[in-house]
Amino acid sequence: MVGKGILRGLTTTARHLLETYLDDVKKIPSRYAYDRHFIKQPLEEKGIFTIQYPEERRVLPERFRYVPMLLYDADTGEDRCTACGICAKVCPTQCIWIVREEDKTGKPLPRSQEFYIDISICMGCGFCAEFCPFDSIKMNHDYEIAVYNRYPDLVLSKDDLVVPTTYYAQLYPEAWAAEERAREEERKRKAAREKALAAKRAAKAKAAAKKKDEQKDAGK
């Protein structure tokens, strides 16, 4: 029958229109009720998929990556970065450059004096965060980074990059929990090792003392 295909098409379009409308009506509170919304598309979503940025925003998954950030310990205020340079070496666009701190004799210290990332050429691949051995560089979720002048506003220095670990814990709850667990285990292992070492030492001392006593006895 000529026209059947077109009728089918029209019914599909009409259904989509209706579903979008019903979906909107069913939502309580309405998606237009507050100023700002964070939206996660459910898998059952039938209506329109549009998110009306900037009034509405997507809920970002934990692994979302945009540009890097540098962590400092919120408790001690110390940088986690040791200026080992691995991030600068794996960076595909070579947009990271670091000046390592040195003491007066020229001996390198495990700290960075300057740390720059040119985010106008950063491609957001996340290698720096992936390969950092000290968990000091992570990917930030802040994607609204528009500026008026790309140079020097888009060349971020250390002051622009550092964030406390508490901020990281908030963005990456799962990764943070895993890290905490690992640290706790490490601490326990270290404590156990020290305990064992102390016990060993004590035993050794005891044995030595005993030997000495025996020698003394033998001497007598």
Residue located via tokens 């069913």: 26
155 and 116 Cβ atoms separated by less than 8 Å: yes
Q: Name the residue nearer to other proteins (CB basis): 77 or 151.
A: 151
Q: Is 94 in the site for other proteins (CB under 8 A)?
A: yes
Closest contact distance (angstroms) between CB of 217 and other proteins is 56
Q: How many residues bind other proteins (CB under 8 A)?
A: 49
- Sign, CA torsion 188/191/197/203: negative
Residue from 81, 98, 137, 156 in contact with other proteins (CB under 8 A): 98
In the shown chain, the binding pattern of residues 123 to 142 toward other proteins, with x for contact by CB under 8 A and - for none, equals xxxxx--xx-------x---
Q: Is 54 in the site for other proteins (CB under 8 A)?
A: no
128 and 96 Cβ atoms separated by less than 8 Å: yes
Contact range with other proteins by CB under 8 A, out of 2-10, 22-30, 71-79, 198-206:
2-10
Residue located via tokens 């934990």: 62
Query: In this structure, what DSSP letter does residue 4 have?
Result: H
Residue from 28, 33, 43, 218 in contact with other proteins (CB under 8 A): 43
SS3 content of the chain, % helix, strand, coil (to 5): 45, 15, 40
Q: Is 193 in the site for other proteins (CB under 8 A)?
A: no
Residue from 151, 216, 217, 218 in contact with other proteins (CB under 8 A): 151
Q: Is 169 in the site for other proteins (CB under 8 A)?
A: no
Contact range with other proteins by CB under 8 A, out of 71-79, 108-116, 158-166, 192-200:
108-116
Which ranges of 107-156 would DSSP assign to H, the alpha helix?
127-131, 150-153
Contact range with other proteins by CB under 8 A, out of 29-37, 98-106, 191-199, 204-212:
98-106
d(CA 108, CA 122): 28
d(CA 113, CA 104): 14
> In the beta sheet, which residues pair with residue 115?
98
- Cα 34 to its chain centre, rounded Å, is 30
Give the binding site for other proteins (CB under 8 A).
Answer: 2-6, 8-9, 12-13, 16, 41, 43, 45, 49, 60-65, 83, 85-86, 88-92, 94, 96-100, 108, 114, 116, 123-127, 130-131, 139, 150-152, 155
